[in-house]
Amino acid sequence: MKQEKIWGLVILVLIALSAWVIVGTHYDSKTHRRVANYPTRYGLDIRGGVRAVLQAHPEEAPGVEYNQAVIQQILENRINGAGVGEATVQPKGKTQFVVELPDVKNKDAILKLLGTTAQLQFYYFRDVANPNSSNPSVANRPVRADVTRDAQGHEHYTFLDQRTNQTFRDGAQIRADFAALLSQGTNPRAGAALFTVPPPLAGSPPMAPVYFTPDQQKKALDLNRELTDWNGLIQSSLAANGGQPILTGNDIAPNTAAHLGGNTGADPVVSQSFKADGAKKYADFTTAHVGEIVGIVLDDQVISAPYIASPILDGQGEISGGFATLAEAKNLADLLNAGALPVPLTQEETESVEASLGGPALHNIEIAGGVGLALVLLFMLFYYRLPGLVADIALLIYTLFTLAIFKGGLSWLFPGFAVTLTLPGIAGFILSIGMAVDANILIFERLKEELRSGKSLRGA
């Protein structure tokens, strides 16, 4: 009897927990409304959306340990930061990730956000002059930086090396131009000759030879010279600081935020706090290098190159100037909070999936399922009486437990565990209920036969 009471108590606790998982809500301060603790996750065949396959390239980061679980967590953090609900990221093989984004309106922006490596470095631009400095050795340094703003409001940096009288841009701008050059054609055709792209523009591992026209070849050589000069500036910056950047994204605390500020009070800026070690490194550096230039570089793109007006001792920083809109600043803040990808990712496949069911149809399915379950329960109750009541209770408990598991009720035991409901999945769930009812009917019919043969209820 004592054991039966214990089991009864366990079942009651599980029923209460399952009900809380299914119907429990909490107040969301962002949307200012109550939302489900465990929202139902619907597949793309129900909600519609985008399915993409992202390919990791650990071979392009030979000094970095490849960890698939870490990359999956970073991708999930970025999706959550972008406000995309009920998205999934699943590993595929050893180096691929399948991302499903249900019911998204800005799929291109989200996928670009996911593929951004987000490697942030603060470099000591030792060779870059600050013309406003009262220190002649700083004001007369050999490289001059110039910044222009395009029609969308993005800032682009150009550098002039006065020792060679050559101009160059950052690596991101150069590679964007090279991609545009490749899009003009690389196959055999009239006027094109086999051309081997030189390093460093050829990348690692080097790309195969291509067919370029004379104009393409000249442009490729110009871009390669630019990239060589840019790499030289970075190598000089590293050498001036003991072979390391001043700071990286790992030195920034995950509380970065975007807001309007800057010199005008209306410019999009990103404010960040440095971790303890990063704050000390930056305080020491800015104290020793007042008036000099710091290059803030994200994925080989200079997003800001301010001079140090005074020592920064409070562990706080601000990135401004490189954003056309507040949304772009927020994207960078989300990337920094989610963490940098340790290896590059490329988008291999993208598929738009149309919803098989709209919202009203899904609601009708829920009503039909509820009505069908109620009819089954009534049939069992009126036809089998007391055994039917017992079967009904068992069926309701089974349904409750299964729905709770579907909604992620085991996530406290298995983090991230939740079921994405698809049309086949819903059909399988309904089939399992039917099988449970069928099993009860077989049992009860056999029980009735035994009772008719004269056996007691316990014996039957």
Q: What is the pLDDT of residues 160-172, one digit of tens each?
A: 999 999 999 999 9
pLDDT at 225: 97
Q: Is 90 exceeded by the pLDDT of residue 107?
A: no
Q: Average pLDDT for residues 116-143, to the nearest whole number?
A: 90
Split at pLDDT 50, 70, 90, the class of 128 is: very high
Strands 41-42 and 420-421: parallel
Indicate the pLDDT class of residue 215, thresholds 50, 70 and 90: very high
The CATH class of the 120-169+240-346 domain is: alpha beta
Most distant pair of Cα atoms in the chain: their distance: 112
Q: Give the least confident one: 175-184, 330-339, 431-440.
A: 330-339
Q: Average pLDDT, stretch 438-446?
A: 82
Chain-centroid distance of CA 170 in Å reads 26
Quote the pLDDT of residue 295.
Answer: 93
Domain boundaries, the chain: 2-26+358-452, 120-169+240-346
Highest mean pLDDT: which range of 58-67, 261-270, 372-381: 372-381
Q: What is the pLDDT of residue 38?
A: 76
Query: Which pLDDT belongs to residue 325?
Result: 79
| Cα–Cα distance, 293 to 289 (Å, whole number) | 8
What is the DSSP secondary-structure string of 407-454?
A: TTTTTTTSTT--PEE-HHHHHHHHHHHHHHHHHHHHHHHHHHHHHHTT
Q: Are 52 and 92 in contact (CB under 8 A)?
A: no
Whole-number pLDDT of residue 390? 83
Confidence check: pLDDT of 56 > 60: yes
Contact 144, 162 (CB under 8 A): yes
pLDDT score for 124: 95
Distance CA 40, CA 293 (A): 51
12-34 pLDDT, tens per residue? 888 888 888 888 777 776 666 77
Asked whether residue 262 carries a pLDDT value surpassing 80, the answer given is: no
What pLDDT shows up at residue 316?
86
Higher pLDDT pick, 411 / 326: 326
Q: How far apart are CA 224 and CA 316, in angstroms?
A: 37
Name the residue with tokens 């990239």: 227
Pairing status of strand 155-161 against strand 143-149: antiparallel
- Residue whose tokens read 């927990």: 17
Mean pLDDT (the chain, rounded): 84
What is residue 223's predicted lDDT score, i.e. its pLDDT? 96
pTM over 0.75: no
pLDDT at 402: 85
What is residue 161's three-state secondary structure? strand
Distance from C-alpha of 286 to C-alpha of 251, rounded to nearest angstrom: 15
Q: Which of 85-99, 129-143, 348-362 has the lowest mean pLDDT?
A: 348-362
137 pLDDT higher than 70: yes
What's the rounded Cα separation, in Å, for the pair 106 and 60? 29
Looking at the predicted structure, is the pLDDT value of residue 263 above 70?
Answer: no
Look up residue 341 and give its amino acid.
L
**pLDDT class for 452, splitting at 50, 70, 90?**
confident
Place of tokens 């980061």: 61
CA–CA separation, 304 and 272 (whole Å): 14
Helix ranges restricted to H, 82-147:
107-115, 136-139
pLDDT value at 416 more than 60: no
Q: Which whole number is the average pLDDT over 79-104?
A: 80
